[in-house]
Amino acid sequence: MKTPSSLEELIQALRCLPGVGPKSAQRMAYHLLQRDRPGALQLSAALGQAVQNIRHCCKCNNFSEDDICGVCLAEGRDTSLLCVVEMPSDMLMMEQTQCFRGMYFVLMGRLSPLDGLGSRELPLERLVQRARELNSEVILATNFTVEGEATAHYLATLLRAQGVKVSRIARGLPVGGELEHVDSGTLAQAVLERREVQG
Amino acid sequence: MGNCFPGLMHKINMSGIAKNRIQDETAFVLHSYPFRETSLVVEVFSRQHGRVPLVARGARRPRSALRGLLMSFQPLQLSWFGKHELRTLHSAEWQGGQPLLQGTALMCGFYLNELLLNLLARDDPHESLFDYYRLTLQRLVQEVDHAATLRCFEKHLLQELGYALLLEHEAGSSRPIVAERSYRYVLEHGAVPQSGQEGEGMTVSGKTLLDMAADDYSDASSAREGKQLMRMLLNHHLGGVVLHTRELIQDLRKFN
């Protein structure tokens, strides 16, 4: 039996999603066509609309429907702090902590030389421009993976050369963490990066 | 009798596939990338089994114990099983004793890993190279200038892969290299005395060759020429592969 060409095309199209191989794509296509046609139409409309309307905020580089996103437009935020994160989900997490009321810059990725992701894949010129425009301290809140650390080192060197003040978020034991249950790597690094007790 | 030690029973069952099972092997993670929904493929460099790709099941789940453990540049004790090329990670334990690489040292670490990923064949054990890699990582943490350490590692790597440099004798003869003379280093051949006209290969002084043989890069000219010579040799063996870490390190040097 020959697969109809529209179905073939749908299966091919679904494969653009990360982690979706030929089998999963086929399963999704069958499900949409057989069990959930309204859902399929809704999906196609939502995809079309999102691709057309969503762009990057010209200030923080996060996804936005307008030129400038809600966070960057919000009144009363501290413009003397600029927090750099890897992904929009990281920014959401920072917002949930409610401890940070400064501005953001979302890299939409990280440096990963072993995956071939170099500095050209990141909007670094815009970050430098934004930091200078705000004349703010830059807080590097990239992940504590080796790639995140490499990104932080690269950005710190780049920004310091431009005369920008740079800091890095701290790492160590989690709040409420017990030494007995923490992983060895975290504990080892917490001992190495210990601080003098003040006051 | 009921099984009151479920974990133990599991271990005994697993030993049924003993010949495909590797237990408590010292290894370093070279690189990892996402696999399926929640797993990770880690390319590890192990002491007795060389470079091996392993699937770490569920390693990308938020509460996975493997998160934060499968970090590059940290000695680990890994156990795995499987008879296909992609094997399955069974357990990982932190060995410790190696502070995390930071800043320029971290970039150099990436460079070592990129070289190993591109030049080492899978399942080809290189125990002495493994030990040297471990030593090199320790040196990177302790020192400020990493150039000499990188040159020594590059030399060891080529030597282990069977492309040892000829640094003390002229190519095709037993005549020793003389520090005061000038030579041309020809790919897959070695150093030949510099004759009047431009020939193939790279011009290099006898002193540089002897310094490289002794792993001594204290002389600025030896350090510079040694770097150029190594770059020419590595580029040849890499067969056109671009090293991204090299580009990043060059960028960083420009900023400073």
Cβ pair B251:A154 closer than 8 A: yes
Q: Is residue B57 within 8 Å of residue B30, measured between CB atoms?
A: no
In chain A, where does the domain assigned CATH 1.10.8.420 lie? 5-53
Best interface-test mutation with B: which of A114, A181, A194 has the largest number of B CBs within 10 A? A114
Name all domains of chain B by residue range, CATH numbers in brackets: 12-94 (2.40.50.140), 103-254 (1.20.1440.120)
Q: How many CB atoms neighbour CB B116 within 10 A?
A: 22
Cβ pair A149:B102 closer than 8 A: yes
> What's the whole-number mean pLDDT along residues B40-64?
93
> Within a 13 Å sphere around the CA of A147, how many CA atoms are in the beta-carbon half?
18
Question: What are the tens digits of pLDDT across the range B148-181?
Answer: 999 999 999 999 999 998 899 898 888 999 999 9
CB-nearest to B248 from A118, A185, A192 is: A118
Q: What is the ipTM of this complex?
A: 0.84
Question: What are the tens digits of pLDDT across the range A125-165?
Answer: 999 999 999 999 999 999 999 999 999 999 999 999 999 99
On chain B, the residues whose CB falls within 8 A of the CB of A111 are 248
What span, in angstroms and rounded, lies between the C-alpha atoms of A81 and A76?
13
What span, in angstroms and rounded, lies between the C-alpha atoms of B104 and B110?
10
User: Does the pLDDT at position B196 exceed 80?
Assistant: no
Residue A199 in contact with partner chain B when CB distance is under 8 A: no
Conformation bin of residue A42: beta by default, left when phi > 0, alpha when psi is -120 to 50: alpha
* Average pLDDT, rounded, for chain A: 93
Cβ pair B71:A146 closer than 8 A: yes
> What's the whole-number mean pLDDT along residues B47-55?
96
Best interface-test mutation with B: which of A153, A173, A181, A194 has the largest number of B CBs within 10 A? A153
Q: Which fold has domain A5-53?
A: Helicase, Ruva Protein; domain 3 (1.10.8)
Least confident residue range of A50-54, A151-155, B113-117, B252-256: B252-256
> What's the whole-number mean pLDDT along residues A93-97?
93
- CATH class label, A56-168: alpha beta
> What's the pLDDT band for B9 if we cut at 50, 70, 90?
very low
Cβ pair A157:B256 closer than 8 A: yes
Predicted local confidence at residue B19, as pLDDT: 58
In chain A, where does the domain assigned CATH 3.40.1360.10 lie? 56-168
What span, in angstroms and rounded, lies between the C-alpha atoms of B205 and B212?
11
Percent of all residues in chain B with a pLDDT value above 90, rounded to a whole number: 66
> What's the pLDDT band for B12 if we cut at 50, 70, 90?
very low
Q: Is pTM beyond 0.80 here?
A: yes
Min Cα–Cα distance to chain B from A169, Å? 14
Cβ pair A149:B106 closer than 8 A: yes
CB-nearest to A157 from B31, B34, B252 is: B252
Q: What torsion do the CA atoms of A151, A17, A50, A118 make, to the nearest 10 degrees? A: 20
